[in-house]
Amino acid sequence: MSELPRPALSVVAPCYNEQEVLPEFLRRVGAVLDAAGGIAEVVLVDDGSRDRTWEVMTAAAAADPRIVAVRLMRNHGHQLALTAGLSVCRGERILIIDADLQDPPELLPDMMALMDQGADVVYGQRRQRDGESLFKRATAAGFYRLINRLTDVDIPADAGDFRLVTRRVLDLLLAMPERHRFIRGMVAWIGGRQVPLIYDRHARVAGESKYPLSKMIRFAADAITAFSVVPLMASMTIGWVMAGVGLGFFIYSMVGWVMHSNLPGWTSLMAALGLLGGMQFLMLGIIGAYLGRLYDQSKGRPLFMIRDIVGGPK
C-alpha cells in the first residue's frame, strides 16, 4: 500500500475542557483551510479533559477527514500535550495554536506569506491583549523581560506558542528530550530566520483560562530553570554578600567588646541569624529545583502517553 501524501500544512491545537469553544474553533480553522486550498490536517489533542471535549473531537473527525483527534492517557499539561500533537502531525508546515481563539487562525495566510519569503519560524507577537486583567498583562511583561536578562537565548517578548514553523524546525524540536518544556524558548534556541507577525490578541470566545496564577508560576519556573543557570550561580554572589554581612556583624561585636558598650539583647543576633538563615534556605530551594528537574529527566519515562488516535484520511 502506498504511503499517504504528506500534508502541506498541519494545524496543531492542544485542548483541555474546551467543549464550548471547539465547534467555533473548527469552523473558523476549516474556513481558513478551505480558502488556502491544498492538503491540510488539523491535529487536536485532548489533554485529559473532564468535559465532553473528546466526544466533540471524535464527532468532528468522523465528519471531516482532515481532523485527527488524539486522546492522552491523563492530563500532562499544555506543553507536553502540544508536544504529543507535534509528534503526530505530518505537515511540511505546522501552525501551533490554542483552541480558545485568542489567537486568530485567520492570520495563517499572512504567516504563510512570510514563510514563503524564507522564514523558518513566523511567531505571533502581541500588540494588545484583550480580555486579560492588568495583573496578568503586567506579570507576563515582567516575565519576558526577566527571562531575557537571565538567558543568552533571545526569546521574543510578548510572544506565546502561536507560530508557524517548518518541518525542519519541528524535527529539531522533537529531537530535544526535555521533560520540563518551554516550547517557545526551545524554538528560539533552534535559531534560523525567525520573523514576528504583530497582532492583537482577542478575549476567549468561551470557557475559562487554563492558566491560573499557580500554573503561571510553575510555567515561569520551568522556563527559567530550562534556559538559565543564573539563579543557581547566584548562590556564589549571595554567599559573598552574606559573608560581608557576617564580617560586618563580627567587627561590630568586637568594637563593642573593646569599648565595653555591648548591650544584652537579641536584636542584632536575631537579625543576622534571620538574614543568613533565610538566604540559605532560598538558595537550597533553588538548588533543589534544578536537582528535581534532573531527577525527573533521569527516569527516562515517556514525555506523554497516547490512549487513542481517531480520524485522518482513510
Name, of 72-81, 178-187, 220-229, 297-306, the range with top average pLDDT.
72-81
User: Rounded mean pLDDT of the chain?
Assistant: 82
Least confident of 20-24, 164-168, 208-212: 208-212
Residue 111 to residue 95: CA distance in whole angstroms = 9
**Which residue has better confidence, 130 or 30?**
30
> 129 forms bridges with which residues in the sheet?
201
User: Quick one: pLDDT at residue 1?
Assistant: 43
pLDDT tens digits for range 219-228:
667 677 666 6
Instruction: Report the 10 Å Cβ neighbour count for 94.
Output: 24
**Cell reading at 51:** 468535559
Q: Which CATH superfamily is domain 9-212+303-311 in?
A: Spore Coat Polysaccharide Biosynthesis Protein SpsA; Chain A (3.90.550.10)
Q: Hey, is 144 helix, strand or coil?
A: helix
The residue among 36, 181, 195 whose CA lies nearest residue 124 is 195
Residue 176 to residue 169: CA distance in whole angstroms = 11
Residue 97 to residue 107: CA distance in whole angstroms = 11
Residues in the chain: 314
Judge whether residue 185 has pLDDT over 80: yes
The residue behind cell 519541528 is 170
User: Quick one: pLDDT at residue 99?
Assistant: 93
Residue 123 to residue 209: CA distance in whole angstroms = 21
The helices-and-strands tally (H runs, E runs) of the chain is 10, 8
Least confident of 165-169, 189-193, 309-313: 309-313
pLDDT tens digits for range 117-130:
999 999 999 887 66
Instruction: Return the H-helix or E-strand segment holding 160.
Output: strand 159-166
Q: Hey, is 167 helix, strand or coil?
A: helix
User: Domain locations in the chain?
Assistant: 9-212+303-311, 230-298
**Cell reading at 83:** 508536544
pLDDT band of residue 110 (cuts 50, 70, 90) is very high
Tell which phi-psi region holds residue 141, choosing left (phi > 0), alpha (psi between -120 and 50) or beta.
alpha
Per-residue exposure over 256-276, b if at least 16 CB sit within 10 Å of its own CB, e if not: eeeeeeeeeeeeeeeebeeee
> 14 forms bridges with which residues in the sheet?
45
Residue 255 CA from chain centroid, whole number: 54
Instruction: Report the 10 Å Cβ neighbour count for 20.
Output: 17
Name, of 48-62, 169-183, 285-299, the range with top average pLDDT.
48-62
